[in-house]
Structure 1
């Protein structure tokens, strides 16, 4: 499974009909909104992908359609009830192209590819997951009350692990650029905002007040991460630089 993120612009006829000079006003016009859109293309070569329900725009090729399910249907339904993932999420397999729904200008996302092995489990904030290869097992993990209050991402996180002996690929979407960092034993990550959008099962997360009785440096509540593992972070989230 491979993917590409394309930015599509209006046709030359659209520019002509709206009396806009394409060469000088391609990206900005003082009075008219030029409708750029962002679309994800997923290329399959004897492989498969699981996408969010309702995310399909079109597909073409020698493809078969199915429904995501594991050997535990109750678990699939539990995931659907607790996260944005549907237990009947569509699965496309074979050789061809799958196109996701285009996103209008102002709602673009930054997409990050994450490799997952069968030895590590990733947990993602609800809404961060976009699509993945079909060799995964999905689950849900309940957040602590303090985490719920601090993140605004609901009560549950989506948990993903590759099938035994395989490597899976997950693509996430965030409003700010994201990257993967690694915490080694003894290291701690402290942030004054919800910059971590996912982490592996070796990471311990806590949302707590820094200090007591006003002796916390004026920071109030902070996010703290310890342990050993990987994190998906959006360092510029909240800066308005998305």
Structure 2
């Protein structure tokens, strides 16, 4: 499963019809918006991919379509223990190319590929998950009231885990550039905004008050991430989110 991000520009006819010199005003025109488009393509070679609901734009090749599902016994046990509900999404298998819905300029995403080992479970904020390989178990977890109060991501998070003995891949999309960092034992990450977009099962998340205003000082409510096991965990962070520079 390979993916590529393409930026599509208007045709020469569009520039001509709008009386814009393509050579000198290709990226910017003082009075007219030039409609660049971002589109993500997924190439399959005898493999499968689970796509975010409603994200498919077109597909071509020797492909079969279905609704995501895995071994029922494993799925029922894992979903009941680790998540609240099952997650239904379209899955494509075979050999070919799948193109996702194009995004207009101003709504471009930064895509991050993450390899998931068989001992990891990732949780992602709502809207972060874009697609993944089909050798996974997917579910949805409900946020508690503190988590919902500090985030605009709704009530649910997607939880994803590779099938036993297998490594999977997931691709996320964020408004600002993101990267995966590792948090080791006795380390803590504190952020005054929704910086973390996803984390593994080795991480404990809290949304609580840090100190107090007034004479006691403090920052008010912040996000705190600590390690909940001996081996540590990983987080997907977007440091420039909310700065308006992406």
Query: With structure 2 as the length reference, what TM-score do the two structures score?
Result: 0.91
Match of 1:22 in 2: 22
Match of 2:134 in 1: 134
Number of paired residues? 236
Cα distance change, pair 35–213 in 1 and its aligned pair in 2 (3 A) = closer
Alignment partner of 1:234 out of 209, 223, 238? 238
Give the whole-Å Cα distance in 1 for the aligned partners of 2:125 and 2:195: 11
Unaligned runs of 5+ in 2: none
- For the 8 Å contact 2:212–2:219, the answer to whether it is kept is no
Give the whole-Å Cα distance in 2 for the aligned partners of 1:98 and 1:156: 27
Q: How does 1:78-93 map to 2 (within 5 A)?
A: 79=85, 87=88, 89-93=89-93
SS of corresponding position for 1:219: strand
SS of corresponding position for 1:151: coil
Offset, 1:161: 0.3
Offset, 1:152: 2.0
- For the 8 Å contact 1:79–1:158, the answer to whether it is kept is no
Give the whole-Å Cα distance in 1 for the aligned partners of 2:23 and 2:123: 45
Match of 1:210 in 2: 210
Cα distance change, pair 216–229 in 1 and its aligned pair in 2 (3 A) = farther
Give the whole-Å Cα distance in 2 for the aligned partners of 1:173 and 1:112: 7
Cα distance change, pair 29–64 in 1 and its aligned pair in 2 (3 A) = same
Unaligned runs of 5+ in 1: none
SS of corresponding position for 1:22: coil
Match of 1:7 in 2: 7
> Alpha-carbon deviations, 1:78-130, whole Å to 9, x = none?
646xxxx5x1x211111110000100111111111111111010000111101
SS of corresponding position for 1:210: strand
Q: How does 1:73-112 map to 2 (within 5 A)?
A: 79=85, 87=88, 89-112=89-112
Offset, 1:142: 2.4
Q: Where do 4+ consecutive residues of structure 1 move more than 4 Å?
A: 72-78
Q: How does 1:14-53 map to 2 (within 5 A)?
A: 14-53=14-53
- For the 8 Å contact 1:112–1:171, the answer to whether it is kept is yes
Give the whole-Å Cα distance in 1 for the aligned partners of 2:213 and 2:29: 53
- For the 8 Å contact 2:212–2:220, the answer to whether it is kept is no
Give the whole-Å Cα distance in 2 for the aligned partners of 1:216 and 1:122: 37
SS of corresponding position for 2:24: helix
Q: Identify which range, 213-222 or 12-21, moves more after superposition.
A: 213-222
RMSD of Structure 2 on Structure 1 (CA):
1.9
